[in-house]
Amino acid sequence: MTKKEKREKRKKERGIVNFMMITHHFFHSLREWLLEIEDSRHQSYITYTRADLVYTVLISRQPYNRLFTILM
């Protein structure tokens, strides 16, 4: 694969970047809202914040994957 092909492929594979840009534009306080939710998990076992978990679920949903395809 040439450098030009790699650049073109990278331009097309911006799904997560587009998702974060749209989320930040329309819901700029979403992460702060999610972090305000009381976390009932035991603090010593927490690796990921609630915001990280919510973003993971949103990105993994099938309709959002279709949205990424449309945006790219």
Domain boundaries, the chain: 19-71
Can you give the pTM of this predicted structure?
0.54
Q: What is residue 28's DSSP assignment? A: T
Given a cut of 50, is residue 65 above it in pLDDT? yes
**pLDDT tens per residue across span 15-36:** 777 778 888 889 888 888 888 8
Q: Both tokens of residue 37?
A: 């939710």
